[in-house]
Amino acid sequence: MHVLSRRAIAATFLFFTLTQMIVCAAKSNKTEVSWDILARKDMVYNQIRGRGIDDERLLDAMLEVERHRFVPKTLEKLAYADHPLPIGKGQTISQPYVVALMTDELKLKATDRVLEIGTGSGYQAAILSLLVKEVYTIEIIRSLADSAAQRLTSLGYENVHVRYGDGFLGWPEEEPFDAVIITCAPPELPEPLIRQLAEGGRLIVPLGDDFQMLTLYKKVAGALEERKITPVRFVPMRGLIEEQ
């Protein structure tokens, strides 16, 4: 009788422990699949792959980078929607598809060193950082440069170098670059950026004033080959270019 009741107690204890473990496992599973993972999958599969971009490395990078951490807290839930969003100081983070399209057109290699003009939130730089060796990015608004640098460091994007300054001048100490991406719109191509592009390098830019044409250049034997991609709308490039 004594032995039986000890067995009964042990069995009851085991039952409760197992039940507790199952409940805990169910709870932790629930928190793992958080809203942003589902939203990123939807963004990548529907907005990006759905429009014909199928580079697996790029799609993986866009699944990985937590875009909602690059927008103001109040807009977090809109981070994965199919449009640009304000990031403060009158600037915007581009629509996810446009980020993907510009990155895809650059045909990046893991060994590339890339220059970005217009750091903004740092989102485009974070995507690039997963695809290439080093990313150099320049932002003309000090507070945006500072917060992007801080954000990128705290999220662990160690191969991104942020500089506060006028991207018109490029980053001469680090040239030549295998690719240049301009994420603000200049009316014409800044001369220093052409010079800092490596032979065989690619440069993508929304070129124009109010409405722009996304244009890809390739440096071949010192000259630029040009290909127009699609009309786009970006914030204008500021600073020295306005004095040209």
Judged by beta carbon, residue 30 or residue 40, the one nearer ligand SAH is 40
Going by the DSSP 8-state scheme, the letter that residue 197 receives in this structure is E
Residues 29-58 that bind ligand SAH (CB under 6 A): none
**Per CB under 6 A, does 105 bind ligand SAH?**
no
User: Choosing from 28, 34, 94, 147, which is the catalytic residue?
Assistant: 94
Find the binder of ligand SAH among 58, 101, 179, 237 (CB under 6 A). 237
Q: Pick the closest to residue 123 from 162, 90, 172, 89 (CA basis).
A: 162
Question: Shortest gap between Cβ of 167 and ligand SAH (angstroms)?
Answer: 3
SS3 assignment, position 224: strand
Judged by beta carbon, residue 55 or residue 166, the one nearer ligand SAH is 166
Active site residue 94: yes
Find the binder of ligand SAH among 47, 91, 103, 147 (CB under 6 A). 91
Token output for 95: 């629509």
User: Cβ distance 98 to 235 under 8 Å?
Assistant: no
User: Cβ distance 120 to 92 under 8 Å?
Assistant: yes
Find the binder of ligand SAH among 131, 140, 152, 162 (CB under 6 A). 140
**Per CB under 6 A, does 93 bind ligand SAH?**
yes
Find the binder of ligand SAH among 43, 53, 94, 160 (CB under 6 A). 94
Find the binder of ligand SAH among 104, 112, 134, 139 (CB under 6 A). 139
User: Cβ distance 166 to 139 under 8 Å?
Assistant: no
Beta bridge partners of 135: 114, 160
Q: Pick the closest to residue 121 from 159, 175, 65, 57 (CA basis).
A: 65
User: Cβ distance 232 to 206 under 8 Å?
Assistant: yes
Q: Pick the closest to residue 202 from 188, 184, 229, 220 (CA basis).
A: 220
Find the binder of ligand SAH among 80, 97, 123, 177 (CB under 6 A). 123
User: Cβ distance 89 to 144 under 8 Å?
Assistant: yes
Question: Shortest gap between Cβ of 101 and ligand SAH (angstroms)?
Answer: 13
Judged by beta carbon, residue 3 or residue 71, the one nearer ligand SAH is 71
Question: Shortest gap between Cβ of 231 and ligand SAH (angstroms)?
Answer: 18
Q: Which of the residues are catalytic?
A: 94
